[in-house]
Amino acid sequence: MTHMSQSLRQRGALILTMLLALMVWGPSVSGAESRSFDLYIAEAPPLSMLEQTGLHGIVGDATSEAATRAGYTLHFIEVPWARAQQSVRKGVDKLIIPLSRTPEREADYIWIAPIMTMDRAFFSLHTRVETLQQARETFARIAVGRGSAQEQKLRAEGFGDNQIYPFEIGENPAQLLLMGRVDAWFNGIPETQSIWRKVSTQPLQVSPVFMSTDLYLACSRNCNATLVRKLRAAVEGLRKDGTLERMRKSYLDAP
């Protein structure tokens, strides 16, 4: 009887040990994936933003809805744009929006899905330029987001360091223009129009479009393949059922 009790106790201890092992190692063995991910976001309305009302802009809303459809939750993080890019490049499974897909960035990220296309132009209070050469000769100081695709474009086109005035994305370059601290602002057209309406009724001189790129939802190079696949499919679903276009119009057609 004593021998049987001892055997039962040993068997019970063995079962308990196995259960504890499954609890500790089960997720790794089964390949269960995380359901929550960091999303680095730029304050660039109407493209992306963080507001108490829950609005996140065109790209932000599309990303949030895609994540919900794919079964994920997102932790929004807003830091200076150059730092955000660095964090995602060096990180694992970190998402970022809205990121322009350029040749310089191609190898640094997993490009999950394009959300929309954005055109860029020069904005000035007094002078409309028609060519990049004219812009180089006319504008002594040009405001441009630090670490942005616009800054890369100006440097690639031969604009000098003394002409380029980098500001942190999230600051207000419209005020720099109004105060005469810069001669022009090179930026995305919808974002500039949205910001300008809030600070001035003065008309802006707008150049032709000198740059056009797709804005992407992107991820670290080291990115969970299932996350990429599900988000890519979810964004495509938003495009096919018209949700993405409705989101775009709700921001761009607003008064």
List per-residue pLDDT tens for the chain, 255 residues long: 444 445 545 555 544 444 444 443 333 333 456 799 999 999 888 999 987 678 899 999 999 999 999 999 999 999 999 999 999 999 999 999 999 999 999 999 999 999 999 999 999 999 999 999 999 999 999 999 999 999 999 999 999 999 999 998 667 899 999 999 999 999 999 999 988 998 999 999 999 999 999 999 999 999 999 999 999 999 999 999 999 999 999 998 865
For the purposes of burial, counting CB atoms within 10 Å of the CB of 160, is it exposed (0-12), middle (13-18) or buried (19 or more)? Answer: exposed
Residue 153 inside a domain? The answer is yes
For the purposes of burial, counting CB atoms within 10 Å of the CB of 67, is it exposed (0-12), middle (13-18) or buried (19 or more)? Answer: buried
Q: Quick one: DSSP state of residue 39?
A: E
Q: What pLDDT does residue 151 have?
A: 96
Which residues, including other chains, have CB under 8 Å from residue 13's CB and lie 6 or more apart?
none
Together in a domain, 229 and 155: no
Together in a domain, 202 and 232: no
Within 13 A of 9's CA, how many CA atoms are on the CB side?
6
> Which residues are 218's β-sheet partners?
96, 111
Instruction: Give just the sign of the alpha carbon dihedral 111, 254, 72, 51.
Output: positive
Residue 175 inside a domain? The answer is yes
CB atoms within 10 A of CB 83: 13
Residue 6 inside a domain? The answer is no
Report the CATH number that the domain containing residue 185 is assigned in CATH. Answer: 3.40.190.10
Q: What pLDDT does residue 169 have?
A: 66
Q: Does the model's pTM come out above 0.95?
A: no
Helix, strand counts (H, E) of the chain: 9, 9
Together in a domain, 196 and 232: no
Hey, what's the torsion of the CAs at 163, 168, 170, 173, to 10 degrees? -20
For the purposes of burial, counting CB atoms within 10 Å of the CB of 171, is it exposed (0-12), middle (13-18) or buried (19 or more)? Answer: middle
- The CA angle 24-22-73, to the nearest 5 degrees, is 60
Together in a domain, 91 and 113: yes
- The CA angle 149-153-155, to the nearest 5 degrees, is 120
Together in a domain, 176 and 196: yes
Residue 22 inside a domain? The answer is no
Residue 4 inside a domain? The answer is no
Residue 3 inside a domain? The answer is no
Together in a domain, 178 and 194: yes
| Residue length of the chain | 255
Residue 231 inside a domain? The answer is yes
Together in a domain, 125 and 112: no
Instruction: Give just the sign of the alpha carbon dihedral 71, 73, 78, 81.
Output: negative
Together in a domain, 190 and 66: no
Q: What pLDDT does residue 23 have?
A: 41
Question: What distance in Å separates the CA atoms of residue 255 and residue 251, rounded to the nearest whole number?
Answer: 9
Together in a domain, 93 and 164: no
Together in a domain, 185 and 243: no
- Alpha carbon 155 to its chain centroid, in Å, reads 22
Q: Looking at the 3D structure of the chain, how many domains does it have? A: 2
Which residues, including other chains, have CB under 8 Å from residue 43's CB and lie 6 or more apart?
49, 50, 78, 169, 170
Together in a domain, 43 and 104: yes
Q: Residue 171 — φ and ψ, nearest 5°?
A: -80, 180
Residue 13 inside a domain? The answer is no
Query: Structural domain of residue 60, as residue ranges?
Result: 36-118+213-252
Together in a domain, 185 and 219: no
